[in-house]
Chains A and B, each alone.
Chain A
Amino acid sequence: MADIAVQHGVDAYEPSLFGTYSKKIGMWLFLLSDSLTFGALLFAYSYGRISNPQWPTPFHKESILNATVMTGCLLSSSLTMVLGVLAARRGDRSWTRNWILLTMLFGTGFVVLHAMEWTKLIAEGMTPFKNPWAASVPQFGGTFFTLTGMHMLHVTIGIIYLGVVALRKKWLPILLVLWLAGWLLTPADNVFHTGIHVLLLGTVVAAMILFLKPKDYDAHDVEIAGLYWHFVDLVWMFIFPLVYLMSTRVTG
């Protein structure tokens, strides 16, 4: 339990901050800073939304339905994650792994649905610099893609992170296969044909972590990975109403 207390001298211990282990404090501090990053992006989006009466409302019934299913995926993944943390506390290794794998599956479902949504919007003519619905509001594409893209990147990093905790080195070949399959199966003109290389980068980083500091991830590590995952879910709880529900097109 080297991370519970910092040793000074022979047997003088300084109690840890807030009476908990330092890895958790580290993750909380990271999440606080990350929430300000997302906060800035959300405020920028909302500023544009409020100050432009011509703000486009491109989200039809199927887009809202899609985004609602995505929200359900993320909420359910949070549930499976806490069940994984509970299993880790009990010392039940196989259920910890199973719950985390289910969490990753829900997360992957979210990213795939979101990628399909992006592809549809791009096919309709939306780019970061223009959109087909409101020529006077070119910033709609830029703010939308930055905000949701940043969130999608966080979900992808979360899936890679959970895979490292759940499967350790066995995760690396799976990740490479996922990267290769995603790269070969997406059309060459699709934005995700390039974007999938995030998985390759993630594999390299995960390999560096797994080979340079091999360890058996314990219940604390599972809990910290869970904190990150719930944060990603938390951010989506603001993106979903601000971006999708506030731009619903009921008629037409």
Chain B
Amino acid sequence: MHTVDAHHDESKAQYFWVWGVLLLLTAVEVVLAYRQVFQPVQMLQALMVLSIIKSALIIGYFMHLKYEARSMKWVMMTAVVACLCFMCVFFADAFRILQLGVR
């Protein structure tokens, strides 16, 4: 097994911090949901914001995207985020059913 030079300053402590923040955000999500702090739509928004923060931490630190070439970050992330955003187009229809009471 050959070694690969670490091109950036990364320490075990940093990974433990990221792990701690992820666990903390999970705990916040569970408390928000179990105490039913918000109405369903606000709850969905709050949970999604927290989940996006968590996924950014995982992609950036655990998957090392923070330390990759800038072109790689942009190409990878714009492609997948754009595709996922296009999928949101269906939600207009989901809300139509809900608000108009279409059965």
A residues at B contact (CB < 8 Å): 18-20, 28, 32, 35-36, 39-40, 43, 46-47, 50-51, 53, 61, 64, 68, 71-72, 75-76, 78-79, 81-83, 86, 88-91, 93, 96, 216-220, 223, 226-227, 230-231, 233-234, 237-238, 240-242, 244-246, 248, 250
Evaluate contact between B84 and A35: CB separation under 8 angstroms: yes
Shortest CB distance B21–A (Å): 10
Determine if A18 and B3 form an interchain contact, defined as CB atoms under 8 angstroms apart. no
**Residues on A with beta carbons closer than 8 Å to the beta carbon of B12:** 83, 86
Would you list 8 pairs from A and B whose C-beta atoms are within 8 A, ordered by A residue? A18-B72, A18-B75, A20-B69, A39-B83, A47-B94, A241-B33, A241-B50, A244-B33
List 16 extra interface pairs beyond A18-B68, A237-B51, CB under 8 A: A20-B69, A39-B87, A50-B94, A75-B26, A83-B15, A88-B1, A89-B3, A218-B1, A227-B63, A230-B63, A234-B55, A237-B55, A241-B29, A241-B48, A242-B47, A246-B47
Q: Write the nearest CB–CB distance from A100 to chain B, whole angstroms.
A: 12
Contact flag A43-B87 (CB < 8 Å), given A35-B80, A241-B48: yes
Q: Given A35-B80, A51-B98, A230-B63, does the pair A90, B3 have CB atoms closer than 8 Å? A: yes
A238 touches B16 (CB 8 A): no
Is the Cβ of B30 less than 8 Å from the Cβ of A64?
Answer: yes
Nearest neighbor of A38 in chain B, beta-carbon distance: B84
- Interface residues contributed by chain B, number (CB under 8 Å): 55
A79 touches B34 (CB 8 A): no
The CA of A230 and the CA of B71, in the complex, are separated in Å by 21
Q: With a CB–CB cut-off of 8 A, which chain B residues contact A71?
A: 26
With A237-B55, A250-B34 already in contact, the answer to whether A82 and B3 are too (CB < 8 A) is no
| CB proximity of A93 to chain B, nearest CB, Å | 6
Contact B62 A81, beta carbon cutoff 8 Å: yes
Q: Report chain B residues within 8 Å CB of A217.
A: 1
Residues of B contacting A244 with CB < 8 Å?
33
Contact of B3 with A32 in the complex, beta carbons under 8 Å: no
- CB-based nearest A residue for B97: A51
With known contacts A20-B69, A75-B19, A89-B6, A68–B55 Cβ distance under 8 A: no
| CB under 8 Å from chain A, chain B span 23-58 | 23, 26-27, 29-30, 32-34, 36, 40, 43-44, 47-48, 50-51, 54-55, 58
